[in-house]
Structure 1
């Protein structure tokens, strides 16, 4: 026999504990009901694996406690103790703790393994709900004995006090523990709830990112400057997405013309030629077929003016021509939605602080996109002026659209 603890242990609410779990934060919470469910005996609750819930007569104070480890089952001491119960316990940790109420404790040095536990109590009635100071007489005391043994049903060995009888009745009247099927169903429901909450959170975040409305799958997967467009006018972005590829392609070309017009690039011969090729759906001829050459020529061609603009985000003195040119090349993208959003974003940058007027023009030129700002939920509404100007779609055999 080896004595693992012999002294006084502080208790509160008549509780002290043995914890042999590898991680006390995992698994079921070791509360009063959880530790005694399914047991016939009170006083020593072992229903939570790796945990013992020990009850005392003393409410608050310190109680004498001895903890012993035996190699084999010790003989019963029925005369020396008033109340005795037995249960089984498995220590998974190599650092099983004797724990006070509130969390303080010390290592018992109990090796990992499966044990039978016998809990001996004396003086529970005398100490019932008492509060004891350190210098006051001892009212109740306890002995806990461990020995290696396979798991068995808990049992009441001896019952004398009314306090023990109360706790035995408490344990026996608890609802039966859930079946494995019920536990599996509970875990499934919990998992579904967590997944649903995660989906709802992602949806709320996405709604916020997209101006209060969820994007279509196509819009969600679009690249380029869609985020910049959403920041400027989320309602217009969603409306362009809904308008369909014909309107998108026409809007991309329109934005390219408006961008080049405002930056005074439409009269530059190679840019005018590029606009005409864009309108006819033709590949760009040199220099627009080479990105590096295009940008070199933009900054070296004496035909190209040099004006500055304050960008929509407030950045001053940006090259208006450098902001405008991408609208032409972006408008030729193979994806019409990508083309419309990127060309319109470049045109907005070229218009600088006048980008809002450009978007008003866009809604007038393309009534399919003339939606009022979207509420968080609900159907979009048309502006009253949306039908004033109808847009004309270009066909490859048409002449370039002339802007007034």
Structure 2
């Protein structure tokens, strides 16, 4: 859900509120559009998978095993050599602080530290906030991880068939809601920079069903 949420929160809520039948139809539509965009619908085993989804049957081999499905995609010489730019979610408006008010809530003052005087002061060292904790014998050494977040690179090209296959596999999830969310998100990545065209069709389909 989180993957699709950054692209279209309203659509996520619409799919969540839809009936299981609508969710299944949405999953099938997303899987079909992803495979069409990637040029996979002419492959017999992909077409068989889409037919099985439409008829409410389990995915046939090799799609019934994700590992085999990926191997089939790699081994089939008929798979088109297509690439697509990475789908970049729309930018959200920057945070706007609340309007200035003349009424201010006083901030609590930090609690004062206990001061030690006399001979005991020479034996007490203030804590060093910048220093990491000292590991005790038998304990694992603590580590610090720093994560840097940046904007997605829209110039990065991805294999479109590899982006589309998860839409077909995701649409077969046992839970209809999960199937719809997984299939639509995978279809978004398969459409790449043109994902808005897909989401517009998905939104219209959800409203009509």
- Alpha-carbon spacing, 1:320–1:241, altered in 2? closer, same or farther (3 Å): same
**SS of residue in 1 equivalent to 2:7:** helix
Matched, 1:244 2:19: yes
Match of 1:394? none
- Structure with more helix by fraction: 2
Matching residue within 338, 356, 359 for 2:196: 356
Q: Partner of 1:270 in structure 2? A: 45
For 1:238-275, what per-residue CA distance to the aligned partner results, in whole angstroms no more than 9, with x for missing partners? 11111121111110011110110111111111000011
Higher relative contact order (CA 8 A, sep 6+): 2
Q: Deviations over 1:14-56 (max 9, x none)?
A: xxxxxxxxxxxxxxxxxxxxxxxxxxxxxxxxxxxxxxxxxxx
Choose from 172, 180, 201 the match for 1:332: 172
Pairing partner for 1:257 from 13, 32, 46:
32
2:21 and 2:63 mapped to 1: Cα distance?
24
TM-score, normalising length from structure 2? Answer: 0.66
- Within 2, Cα distance between the matches of 1:315 and 1:232? 18
Distance of 2:160 and 2:200 partners within structure 1:
20
1:322-352 Cα offsets, whole Å, 9 max, x none, are 0000111100101111000000000000000
Q: Comparing both structures, which one devotes a greater share of its residues to strand?
A: 1
Of residues 63, 80, 97 in structure 2, which corresponds to 1:288? Answer: 63
RMSD between superposed Cα atoms in Å = 1.1
- Structure 1 unmatched ranges of 5 or more: 1-225, 368-389, 392-404
**Shift, 1:293, TM fit:** 1.5
Name the count of aligned residue pairs: 144
Is the 2:83–2:158 Cα contact (8 Å) retained in structure 1? yes
State the 4+ residue runs in structure 1 displaced beyond 6 angstroms. Answer: none
The Cα of 1:315 is off from its aligned counterpart by 5.7
Cα distance between partner residues in 1 of 2:26 and 2:33: 10
**Residues 1:279 and 2:54 aligned together:** yes
| Structure number, greater radius of gyration | 1
Give the corresponding residue for 1:347. Answer: 187
Q: Secondary structure at the match of 1:289?
A: coil
Give 1:24's aligned residue: none
For 1:358 and 1:337, the matched residues in 2 are separated by 18
Equivalent pair of 2:14/2:206 in contact (CA under 8 Å): no
* 1:366, distance to aligned residue in structure 2 (A): 2.1
Q: Is the 8 A contact 2:15 2:206 kept in 1?
A: no
Structure 1 residues 298-322: Cα deviation after superposition (integer angstroms, max 9, x where no partner)? 0120111111111113261111000
Q: Where does the alignment leave 5 or more consecutive residues of structure 2 unmatched?
A: 89-153
